[in-house]
Every structure is written in C-alpha cells, then in structure tokens.
Amino acid sequence: MTIHATRTQNEKAVEKLDTTDMAGGVLPRDLFEEWYQKVVDSATMLEGARTEDLPRPQMDLPRISVGERMRRGSDENSGGDGQGEVNTDAVSLDVEKGTLAYDLSRESVDDTLDNVDEIVLDMLARQFAVDTQDLGINGDESSGDAFLNQNDGWLKILSNSTDTATYDHTDGNGNAQPVDTGLFNEAIQAMPNKYLRSDRFEPVFYMNENKVQQYRMALTEREDPLGSAVIFGDEDITPFSYDVVGVAAWPEDTAVFTHPQNFVYGLYDEVEIHVLTETDKVAENDLFARYFMRVRDDFAIEDEEAAVLTTGIEA
C-alpha cells in the first residue's frame, strides 16, 4: 500500500471517531459499551471489582443483609418467634470529573497501516484503565499531588473507616517486616468470621506485585517439595488456600484482605471524546488531531467491615 493510500485510509478511519456530530461529543451506546469493556479488561483490579455503569451522576447502589443467630426455638402450637430483620442501606456514589488527552501526530496517520480509529480508542481505554486503577488504589483528596487528589481511592476509604479491621505487621520495635506466612495468618484471623470463605464470599489478598515475588522467593528457600514447586511454577501462591493478587500500582507497605467485589467502581455513562483538529496546539505541533476524553467516576467500598487493612510491610 502506498503512503498516499495509507494516509487516505486512516483519515477516513479517524473520521469515524470524530464526535463533532454527536451531542456534546458523548460516545454512542454501542461504542461506550465496547470502550467500557476494554477498560475493565485492561486492569487487574477493575476486572475483579464490582463495576457499575451509572445512568446518573449521583446514585445509591442498594445493599441488603440479614442479622446473625436469628433462629429461635418454638413451642408447640406457636410460631414466628424469631425477631430478625432485613437490613437495607446503600453504597453512595457521587462522580468526579476526570480528563485524558492524546496527541495524534501526522506521521502516525501516514505510517500506520491499521485503522487509526480503533488504535486510538484502544489506547484511550487502556491508558484510562491503568490511570483509573492507580487512582482507585492510591487516590487521596487531601494529597498535594494533582493526580492523587482527584478522588479518594479504596485504601483511603478503608483507612478512614472505623469498621475496617486492621493488622500492623511491624515488630516489637516498630520496624516494618517482610511478607511472611504470619502476615496472612494474622489478617485472616482479623477478618470477622462471617466474611471468611463461604458460598457467597471468597476473600483474597491484594498487595504490591514486588511483595508477592519476594514471598515466592522466600518459599523457594524452603527445603521441601513446595519450594521446588514454586520455582518451577507448579504451585500457585495460596496461603491457607486463599489467593494472592499482585497489583503493580499497589503501595509496597500495605495489603488488603477482602472479596474482589467489595471494591466498587462507578462510571457515569456519558463519556465524552472530542477530536480537535483546528486548535492552536494542533497547528503549532503539526498534529493530525488531538483527542480529548472527559469522564466522571467514583470509587466506593461496599462493606468496610468485610476487609482487613494490613500495614507495616517492609517496603
């Protein structure tokens, strides 16, 4: 294919993503669903989390539970002695605005053989997923960092909650300690019994990927079959039969033990993507186009009591 033919093909492809004919540049429903699925599939945390497509900027997601030990004995000719109640409340989501911009160089349009519209949409989705997962983990509205203070993330929400159980992994002198089997044992014991393994609830450990690798290395030093199995990849890391998930953006000094869907991510479904071709920046930098995406989303924890926040891990 000649350069001229490639350029022509890609210019037509880019026009498919030109949102100037849409109201406010909002992605149509079919493109939104495709883009949203790419976002979820591109991030470890979002893939396992409870993700919600929000039709309104402010929403309460229903939460329902029942009490414990509500069964009662009953005398003959009597019934209905139990006094249990169904508890209903909600997880509140109030979305915050975030933006992401990409510059598409003229050379990319000339040289790329595949459809540029698909490449750009995929690139936006993947980068948005990586950034959103990072913000979901580390977000802190009180931070002076312009990225982190967009929203409070899951760790901040858990650390602020008085309902969340905690475990401090430091030693008697207050020194942080490496990940070991004792950490997993203490976190499991700190979890309320009703949230441990059941048909409805299967908690896992979340920590930095480097910490998971260090634990793998520690296991390989054992002089037993498990050490050899870990070296050769024949054995998953499942302390006390619970899975461990390593996440690149996770802080090295912290871990969380909870069910994946206890992490809630809500995205307002009016995602805007604008293709800018006639701005000063486009002209000054000889760009083919500048892609600007605007989203509104929020993070929440469904049940703060159903998590154990572990600190004091050696970084």
User: Tens digits of per-residue pLDDT, 43-100?
Assistant: 888 889 998 888 888 888 877 665 566 666 666 666 555 566 666 678 888 888 898 8
At residue 24, the pLDDT reads: 43
Query: 247-271: per-residue pLDDT in tens?
Result: 989 999 999 999 999 999 999 977 8
- Answer yes or no: is 282 within a domain: yes
Please indicate, yes or no, if residue 280 is contained in any of the structural domains: yes
Residues 249 and 271 in one domain: no
Residue 169 in domain: yes
Residue 18's pLDDT band, with cuts at 50, 70 and 90, is: very low
Residues 52, 140, single domain; the answer is yes
Mean pLDDT of 170-199: 91
Specify whether 107 is located in the same domain as 132: yes
Helix (H) or strand (E) holding 274: strand 272-276
Please indicate, yes or no, whether the overall pTM of this predicted structure exceeds 0.95.
no
Q: Look at residue 70 and tell me if it is in a domain.
A: no
Q: Do residues 176 and 273 share a domain? A: no
Q: Is residue 81 part of a domain?
A: no
Note whether residue 67 is domain-resident. no
Judged by DSSP in three states, 21 sits in helix
- In a shared domain, residues 36 and 8: yes
- Cα–Cα distances in angstroms (integers) from residue 6 to residues 11, 12, 17, 241, 290, in the given order: 9, 10, 17, 54, 20
Mean pLDDT throughout 173-199? 91
C-beta separation of 288 from 106 below 8 A: yes
Q: What is the pLDDT of residue 78?
A: 60
**pLDDT tens across 147-179, in order?**
999 999 999 999 999 999 999 999 999 999 999
Statement to judge: residues 147 and 280 lie in one domain: yes
Closest by CA position to 293, among listed 141, 120, 95, 133: 120
Residue 182 and residue 116 share a domain: no
User: For residues 215 and 252, is the Cβ–Cβ distance under 8 A?
Assistant: no
Instruction: Give me the CATH number covering residue 196.
Output: 3.30.2320
> Which domain, by its residues, includes 93?
3-62+88-151+264-301
**Using H for helix, E for strand and C for coil, what is the string for 156-184?**
HHHHHCCCCEEEECCCCCCCCECCCHHHH
- Strands 165-168 and 272-276, by their bridges, are unpaired
Instruction: Give how many domains the chain has, as a whole number.
Output: 2
Same domain, 228 and 132: no
- Predicted confidence (pLDDT) at residue 120 exceeds the cutoff of 90: no
Based on the fold, state whether residues 92 and 179 are members of the same structural domain: no
